[in-house]
A and B are shown apart, each in its own frame.
Chain A
Amino acid sequence: MEFERHACDILIIGSGGAAAMAALSARRQTASVTIVSKETSLVGGATIMASGGISSVFNPEDSPEVFFNDILRGGGYLNNRKLARILAECGTEAVLKVEHYGLLLDRKSRDAFNVVKKGEGHSWPRGLLDRREALGFCHGLGQALLTSGTQFLSEVLIFKLLLESDRTVGAIGLSLISGNFIVFSAKAVVLATGGLGAIYETTTNSDMLTGDGYALALEAGAALSDMEMVQFLPLAFPYPRSRRGTIIGMCSLFGPDTRLYNNRGEQYMEKYDPERKEFSTRDIVARGNFIEIMEGRGTASGAVILDPRNNDTYYRRRFEDTCPHIHKMIREVFGDGAADWKETLEAIPSQHFFMGGVQIDEDCKTAVPGLFAAGEVTGGIHGANRLSGSALTEIFVFGDRAGKRAAVYAHSQKKISSQPNSVKSGIEEAQQMFETVNKDGSRPFEVRRKIKKIMWQYFGPVRNEADMKMGIKKLQEIHETDMSALTLGSGHMRYNRERFQAIETLFMIRTALLVANAALMRRESRGSHFRTDFPYTNDNLWLKNIISKQSRDGKVAYQTKDIGDEAFLAGW
């Protein structure tokens, strides 16, 4: 069996800011750090797509305590308190660190943070907006990686974590460029693979976010929490097809006089949140938009009407300045009138973020010795709903932390090599998928489309028992039938993206089933999880996390645990 080998102390899997921050902090303490990414951008992933800003305590009257309370309230009190507190307390320091590693962040004046936005659910203005959106700090961190001595392996997909005596000792990857397998050995592995946007038909994320980290961690024996908690953003482009789902944002970006209307001219958000209306948290506005469209009160293109016309011109200038890419796309899609806020726009809700994920402790350790995790792949920080701007804060705070802790751990460990048998069986599994060329089964892109449709239809912003049962049945059919008969269009080695996609499709279906089963289990509505058959929050029964864990026979068990119960985190 042929494969390449790669050895390092710390192996970081991921394409975005969490991976970069982990690498940069680990490199301060450890000789050999490797990032493996599915992309070629040094810092890409979901991070480069960000536009809404970085939320932290920048205002002297604000405090970490108030931010912490906002995070919990926004998250429906499902949050892991320890992690939420770290986010609230360490955000500003982490932002400074980003600037220290890389490019200068945008500023209000000579030496003051450019905080310009009070986002939905925040008690204070906390949104640090940047005129380059995320491009500035992504390329700044990228430059820092280039000079840090971090090894960067691009376009490699990790499809299996290697364990010996329950400890993570490496991983197996597939190189897109050569088509070769690569066996990695490492003392510690950091998962920073981002979220799962690609399992949804309509998403603000790229098609690269196929839930890899959830599937890898689950198989390795880690516990996952709150897998039902999928965030939808209220405003995204409805058309053309190649722009569908691309981020527009939240009403607050357009200014305080922004209104949403349905096709009858009703300002419908009054129904869903009479007090905050359009400026309610993103879960509620996204749901309002979804219901209006679903119940036939949308526009001819199946969207709601976004009206920014009554805002002061200050906000339009702010928008043009701080969201240049979105503004350009608004002009391209809706025309000059809409871009100048003289006409209305249309918008649809779109999958945006995932609150659930791999359980970690304050040191970013998962339940599996040697396996750390940071960023969107982890669960618990944001509970049932995330506040605006705190995803970037999260990757900076926890990426840095994961790298540091992984380096400390790696120092205390001897390297264990993986057994030839586990390497062999891992590679054979993948090879079997690649050998099914030109058979009768479905191609990966066809199966992906099916999964995306099912997730959007049955596990979107509005859910109910009967639909979810139907959805699970369909997902199971895909898992059992389509996946075993998956067929590839070509058997070539070099840059065969369909091989990547075949493995990603397996991650997608596994992740989709986790989301679906956890969603069916939670018989209440909380945060982003809304059920028409259980429309209210039920603290008596459901102020609990749902934990998903795979047993040795491969079955996934879903159970509830009290908030703050750390039984699933091994003390290693």
Chain B
Amino acid sequence: MEVTFKIYRFDPDQDKKAGYDEHQIQAERGETVLSLLQKVSENIDPTLAFRFACGKVKCGECSVNVNSIPCLACEKQVEPEILVEPLAGMPVIKDLVVDRQKVIDDLSCRSSWLSKDKKPFDTLSDVPPSDLQTYIKLSGCYQCLICQSVCPVISDDPDGFVGPLGLLWLSQMVMDPRVQFEWNEHMDAMVGECIECGACWQACPAGEIMLEKSFELLRSKNEMSSE
């Protein structure tokens, strides 16, 4: 298959604004976008920057936008026309590479609930089966940051709202029977900021269930606290 492969390019050291390169590339059936990016950097343009690690749909590091829809480059299969761009709303280091560490660090600074102490124990702690079911669904995250990237509330208020991932972390703590948890106004406010648009659920490569569940859970917590 002949693919028209258009790639976002931006080098903050040299470029005043971003541009696009276009290549015609032969691809085989089932080939991934990551594989095409590798072909470009090997055979056409060695200055192209893109990130990957495992290459096998596990680590979430290669998340990009393909034809304006966020996905994992190692999972997404090629189509006749492809436009690849960095995840929207993320600080760009170069071309398709965004500053993941900054995003995670900033988020963890604002997610005070992450530092909740867990009771020490020397046996497995007791978790009710129904809670465990929910908990397992809440914790299969790739940390690809796609949910953060598509969240319209973050794009309006990047330094305020913790976003779907911050709320996911919060919901994990809520469901963890070892964590001594006090629901507070700050958490109320964070949950209240979500507009329930569902953009993050639909975009999550791990499946819709996780973020949807997380939100349901926090909303019920929120309603309980306001009663």
List which B34-76 residues lie within 8 A (CB) of chain A: 34-35, 38, 41-42, 46-47, 49, 51, 53-61, 74
Are A143 and B129 CB-contacts (below 8 A) given A240-B29, A241-B35, A489-B46? no
Which A191-229 residues sit within 8 Å CB-CB of chain B?
204, 206-208
User: Is B123's CB under 8 angstroms from A111's CB?
Assistant: yes
A-side contacts of B189, CB under 8 Å = none
Instruction: Check if B104 is an interface residue, CB within 8 A of chain A.
Output: yes
Q: Does B108 contact A (CB under 8 A)?
A: yes
What's the nearest-Cβ distance from chain B to residue A352, in Å? Answer: 13
A111-B124 contact given A49-B58, A495-B94, CB 8 Å threshold:
yes
Report which of A44, A243, A490 forms a contact with B61, defined as CB distance below 8 A: A44
Nearest B residue to A105 via CB reads: B124
Contact assessment for B127 and A177 in the assembled complex, using a CB-CB cutoff below 8 Å: no
Contact between A41 and B143, CB atoms less than 8 A apart: yes
Residues of chain B within 8 A (CB-CB) of A140 are 139
Contact between chains at A48 and B59 (CB < 8 Å):
yes
Q: In the complex the two chains form, is A325's CB within 8 Å of B57's CB?
A: yes
Interface residues of A in 437-494 (CB under 8 A from B): 443, 445, 488-490, 492-494
- Of B114-122, B146-154, B216-224, the one contacting chain A is B114-122
CB distance from A502 to the nearest CB of B (A): 12
* Min C-beta distance of A232 to chain B, whole Å: 17
B132 touches A104 (CB 8 A): yes
What is the bound-complex CA distance between A107 and B128, given in angstroms?
10
* B108 and A146 within 8 A (CB): yes
Q: Are A99 and B124 in contact (CB under 8 A)?
A: yes
Instruction: Choose one: B54, B118, B136; the contact of A132 (CB below 8 Å).
Output: B136
- Render B1-32 as a binary contact track against A, CB cut-off 8 A, 1 for contact: 00000000001110000000000000011111
For the complex, give the distance between the alpha carbons of A49 and B60 in Å: 11
Nearest CB on B from A260, distance (A) = 23
Residue among A41, A241, A488, A498 with the highest chain B CB neighbour number at 10 A:
A41
Q: Is B176 positioned at the interface, with any CB of A under 8 Å from its CB?
A: yes
Checking A41, A207, A492, A498 against B60 with a beta-carbon cut-off of 8 angstroms, the contacting residue is A41
Q: Mark A228-242 against chain B: 1 for CB-CB distance below 8 A, else 0.
A: 000000000001111
Per the bound structure, the CA–CA distance linking A541 and B59 in Å amounts to: 44
Interchain Cβ contacts within 8 Å, total number: 166
Partner of B100, one of A104, A154, A493: A154
Q: How many residues of A contact B (CB 8 A)?
A: 64
Q: Which of B96-111 contact A (CB under 8 A)?
A: 97, 100-101, 104-105, 108
- Bound-state CA distance A105–B143 (Å) is 18
Q: A110 and B129: CB pair below 8 A? A: yes
A308 on the interface (CB 8 Å rule)? no
* A557 contacts B by Cβ under 8 Å: no
Q: What's the dominant secondary structure at chain B's contact region?
A: loop
Instruction: Evaluate contact between B58 and A490: CB separation under 8 angstroms.
Output: no
Q: Does B214 contact A (CB under 8 A)?
A: no
Please state if B29 and A177 are interface contacts (CB–CB under 8 Å).
no
**Quick check: B142 and A49 within 8 Å, CB to CB?**
no
A70-103 interface (Cβ within 8 A of B): 96, 99-100, 103
Cα–Cα, bound, A445→B44 (Å): 13
Q: What residues on A are CB-neighbors of B139 within 8 Å?
A: 103-104, 132, 135-136, 139-140
Identify A106's interface contact among B35, B95, B136, CB under 8 A.
Answer: B136
Option from A103, A147, A204 in Cβ contact (under 8 Å) with B108: A147
Chain A residues lying within 8 Å of B94, measured Cβ to Cβ, are 494-495
Among residues of A, the one whose C-beta sits closest to the C-beta of B38 is A445
- Chain B residues, Cβ within 8 Å of A333: 30
Nearest Cβ on chain B to A435's Cβ, whole angstroms:
15
Nearest CB to that of B51 among chain A residues? A40
List, in ascending order, chain B residues with CB within 8 A of A498's CB. 41, 46
Name the distance in Å between B111's Cβ and chain A's nearest Cβ: 9
Instruction: Report B-chain residues with C-beta under 8 Å of the C-beta of A492.
Output: 11, 47
Contact status A40-B100, CB under 8 Å:
yes
CB-CB < 8 A to A497: which residues of B? 41, 49
Decide if B126 is an interface residue (CB 8 Å cutoff).
yes
**Contact call B128/A110, Cβ cutoff below 8 A:** yes
- In the assembled complex, how far is the CB of residue B50 from the closest CB belonging to chain A, in whole angstroms? 8
Chain B residues with CB under 8 Å of A273's CB are: none
Is B53 a contact partner of A39 (Cβ separation < 8 A)?
yes
Cβ–Cβ < 8 Å partners of A488 in chain B = 46
Considering the complex, give the chain B residue whose CB is closest to the CB of A132: B140
Q: Tell yes or no: B135 within 8 A of A by CB.
A: yes
| Bound form: Cα–Cα A498–B41 in Å | 9
How far does the Cβ of A300 sit from chain B's closest Cβ, in whole Å?
A: 16
Chain B residues contacting A281 (CB-CB under 8 Å) are none
B47 touching A107, Cβ below 8 Å: no
Min Cβ gap A333→B in Å is 8
Q: Are B143 and A139 in contact (CB under 8 A)?
A: yes
Within the complex, the shortest CB–CB distance from B116 to chain A, in Å, comes to 9
Structural contact, A111 and B127, CB atoms closer than 8 A: yes
Cβ of A42 and Cβ of B104 under 8 Å apart? yes
Nearest-neighbor residue (CB-CB) of A204 within chain B: B56
Contact of B136 with A136 in the complex, beta carbons under 8 Å: yes
| Residues on the B chain within 8 Å of A113, using CB | 124
Out of B49, B104, B128, B176, which one reaches A495, CB within 8 Å? B49
Contact B100 A135 (CB under 8 A): no
Q: How far is the CA of A41 from the CA of B121 in the complex (A)?
A: 28
Give the CA-CA distance A131 to B207 in the complex, in Å. 14
CA distance A279 to B51 in the complex (A): 39
B17 to chain A, nearest CB (A): 17
The reply to whether B57 and A110 form a contact with Cβ atoms under 8 Å apart is no
A329 at the interface (CB under 8 A from B): yes
Interface CB pairs A-B, < 8 A, 22: A39-B53, A40-B61, A41-B143, A42-B143, A104-B132, A104-B176, A107-B129, A107-B132, A111-B124, A131-B140, A132-B139, A133-B58, A136-B140, A146-B114, A147-B114, A177-B97, A242-B74, A488-B46, A490-B46, A494-B12, A494-B94, A497-B49
Give the interface of B toward A (CB within 8 A): 11-13, 28-32, 34-35, 38, 41-42, 46-47, 49, 51, 53-61, 74, 93-95, 97, 100-101, 104-105, 108, 114-115, 118, 120-129, 132, 135-136, 139-143, 169, 172, 176, 178, 206
| 7 additional A-B residue pairs with CB within 8 Å, beyond A96-B122, A135-B142 | A41-B59, A48-B54, A49-B56, A104-B176, A107-B129, A139-B141, A143-B169
- 6 closest pairs, A vs B, by CB? A489-B46, A240-B30, A495-B49, A132-B140, A206-B54, A146-B108
